[in-house]
Amino acid sequence: MPGRLVLLATSPRVVPGLLSFEAWSTLQSADRVLVGAADHPLTGPLGTAGIPVATVPRDGTPPDVARHLLSAAASGTTVWVASPDGDPGLADALAALLDGLGPLAPDVDVVLGSWDLPGARLLDLVAVMDRLRSPGGCPWDAAQTHESLVEYLVEEAYETVEAIEAGDDAELREELGDLLLQVAFHARIAAEHDEPWTIDDVADGITAKLVSRHPHVFAGHGARTADEVEASWAELKKQEKGRESVTDGIPMSLPALVLAAKLLRRSARIEDVGWISPEVEDAADRAYDAADGDVGDLLLALVARVADTDEDPEQELRAAVRRHRARIRAAEGLTDDRTTPSD
């Protein structure tokens, strides 16, 4: 009577020994359990559970390993615990040999002992980043600092925006990966500091922040509409950060146009804020009406007009934003201390 060959697949991203009930039951009832190397991650846990493990040398080709497994499975139940790399080529080699065995072929089953949860691939990124920064890794990566990586962080952020604006989903996926690399890179550098913190601390911090700022989701009370959520978020941030002004938390290093829009949006509820002269406001209204919806062209034309005077449009707008920030803080009864607490 043909035997049974069980291919036990596990995830290298799960703690060794954390297996499904079906996997443990199969292992405990097997006549023999085989692994590809003595240092297989499950060798220790299986030994602790009293399950003997034999090693099949993997220095041969996949067909060599396949023949060994089928020979062992000629009688009884043989469990092959898949290697962390997934045993490339082994499945095809087994299929080819099984076709030639006919009725003598053992039954072959696949059992999932563990599997990846969403987000598990982030562990691979952490491991690769660790390898790059460790002795024997990449000299360039090892030489980087938080400061030296700033230009790449900014560049990747803008490339991500460009992919979104282009509607290129495949490009967006790649650019988000590049952006994620920057997070992992900075966290790995921080892990080497005298007072280290790691990627886990980064994830823990943002998770706690999201939970605390969404009481309507996690506590079952609070805001119900998008506007209420935004107002609640702002109030919670104000309490957490000890903020006094609606301008707090807006990085003044943002590009001028983004900075202006964010500042105006934040200050919309503040009354008695001084504004630009009526003449300038009236000219802006006329220009906007004349643009007939082509707001981008209007802004481009204004930039061109300013550039003709040898002035820097970015710096001019930034200066105007700083003046308006001072007006907002004055309306709030505060001084313009130029501080920008983080979110």
- Give the 3-state secondary structure of the chain: CCCEEEEEECCCCCCCCCCCHHHHHHHHHCCEEEECCCCCCCHHHHHHCCCCCEECCCCCCHHHHHHHHHHHCCCCEEEEECCCCCCCCHHHHHHHHHHHHHHHCCEEEEEECCCCCCCCHHHHHHHHHHHHHCCCCCHHHHHCCCCCCHHHHHHHHHHHHHHHHHCCHHHHHHHHHHHHHHHHHHHHHHCCCCCCCCHHHHHHHHHHHHHHCCHHHHCCCCCCCHHHHHHHHHHHHHHHHCCCCCCCCCCCCCCHHHHHHHHHHHCCCCCCCCCCCHHHHHHHHHHHHHHCCCHHHHHHHHHHHHHCCCCCHHHHHHHHHHHHHHHHHHHCCCCCCCCCCCC
CA nearest to 159, candidates 186, 134, 177, 135 = 177
**pLDDT, tens digit (0-9, with 9 covering 90-100), for 192-239:** 999 999 999 999 999 998 888 788 787 766 666 776 666 666 666 666
Q: CB under 8 Å to 120, separation ≥6 — which residues?
A: 11, 13, 14
How confident is the model over 15-30, as pLDDT tens digits? Answer: 999 999 999 999 999 9
Map out the domains of the chain as residue ranges. 4-112, 121-197, 254-343
Which pLDDT score, from 0 to 100, does residue 197 have?
Answer: 96
Residue closest to 331 by CA, chosen among 255, 266, 252, 279: 266
User: CB–CB of 5/106 below 8 Å?
Assistant: yes
Residue 61 identity (one-letter amino acid) = T
Q: If you search the block for the tokens 């067909």, which residue do you land on?
A: 63
Strands of the sheet containing 54-55, edge to edge, are: 54-55, 32-35, 77-81, 4-9, 107-112
Question: How high is the mean pLDDT of the chain?
Answer: 88
- Name which of 208, 204, 207, 201 is nearest 186 in CA terms: 201
Could you tell me the CATH superfamily of domain 4-112?
Tetrapyrrole methylase, N-terminal domain (3.40.1010.10)
Higher local confidence (pLDDT), 278 or 192: 192
Cα dist from 91 to 69, 84, 88, 108, 185, whole Å: 11, 15, 8, 11, 36
**99 touches 68 (CB < 8 A):** no
The domain 121-197 is placed in CATH, from the list 3.30.70.1140, 3.30.428.10, 1.10.8.350, 1.10.287.1080, at 1.10.287.1080
Tens digits of residue pLDDT in 133-192:
999 999 999 999 999 999 999 999 999 999 999 999 999 999 999 999 999 999 999 999
Q: Which of 108-112, 207-211, 244-248 has the highest mean pLDDT?
A: 108-112
Query: What confidence tier does 267 reach under pLDDT thresholds 50, 70, 90?
Result: confident
The pLDDT of 40-64, averaged and rounded, is 89
Specify whether the CB–CB gap between 33 and 10 falls below 8 A.
no
Q: Does residue 342 surpass a pLDDT of 70?
A: no
Quote the tokens at residue 67.
Answer: 């023949």
Q: What is the pLDDT of residues 290-341, one digit of tens each?
A: 888 888 899 999 899 888 888 888 888 899 889 888 888 888 888 755 544 4
